[in-house]
């Protein structure tokens, strides 16, 4: 099952899991490799809140902490934002409900409005950078030599 409208990672293998009232979307670069980007969200329940509680967030962090690694809270930074400099710094003030942690190995956990928790390994960012470069190179190569 795949969400073609909003893939977690372009060109990756996607799986959606449902587990004890949670929807977990995962993107893999290889069939037998680790999930490089995972989103956790609660499934809608009548009368239930979609907000992820602190203790639920803690359970997600604990499940994603390999031996010998730790999480450190960092300033929220939206890597998908086109803003730079002052505008980028201003995002911190408008990113209410947006929290971010970095793991010892560079993986990032991001809470977006306390509704979606996204775990992202460094490999996901590196893969996207390579994809972007390839697209730019193809676009440049397709320009006619006037």
Tokens of 3: 């969400």
Q: How far apart are CA 115 and CA 22, in angstroms?
A: 11
76 vs 122, higher pLDDT: 122
Q: 2-16, 55-69, 108-122: lowest mean pLDDT where?
A: 2-16
CB 73 within 8 A of CB 99: yes
pLDDT at 79: 55
Q: How far apart are CA 131 and CA 66, in angstroms?
A: 28
What are phi and psi for residue 125, nearest 5 degrees?
-65, -45
113: confidence class by pLDDT, cuts 50, 70, 90:
confident
**Per-residue pLDDT tens over the stretch 6-43:** 889 999 999 999 999 999 999 999 989 999 999 999 99
Mean of the per-residue pLDDT values of the chain: 86
pLDDT at 95: 47
**Where exactly are the structural domains of the chain?**
13-140
Q: How far apart are CA 125 and CA 36, in angstroms?
A: 9
């Amino acid at each position: 099952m795949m969400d073609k409208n909003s893939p977690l990672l372009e060109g990756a293998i996607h799986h959606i899991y449902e587990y004890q009232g949670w929807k977990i979307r995962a993107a893999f670069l290889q069939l037998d490799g680790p999930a490089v980007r995972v989103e956790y969200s609660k499934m809608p329940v009548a009368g239930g809140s979609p907000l992820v509680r602190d203790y639920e967030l803690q359970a997600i962090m604990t499940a994603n902490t390999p031996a010998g690694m730790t999480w450190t809270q960092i300033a929220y930074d939206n890597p998908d934002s086109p803003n730079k400099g002052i505008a980028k710094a201003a995002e911190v003030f408008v990113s209410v409900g947006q929290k971010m942690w970095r793991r010892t190995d560079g993986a990032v956990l991001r809470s977006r409005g306390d509704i979606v928790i996204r775990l992202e390994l460094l490999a996901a960012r590196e893969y996207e950078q390579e994809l972007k470069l390839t697209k730019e190179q193809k676009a440049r190569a397709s320009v006619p030599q006037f």
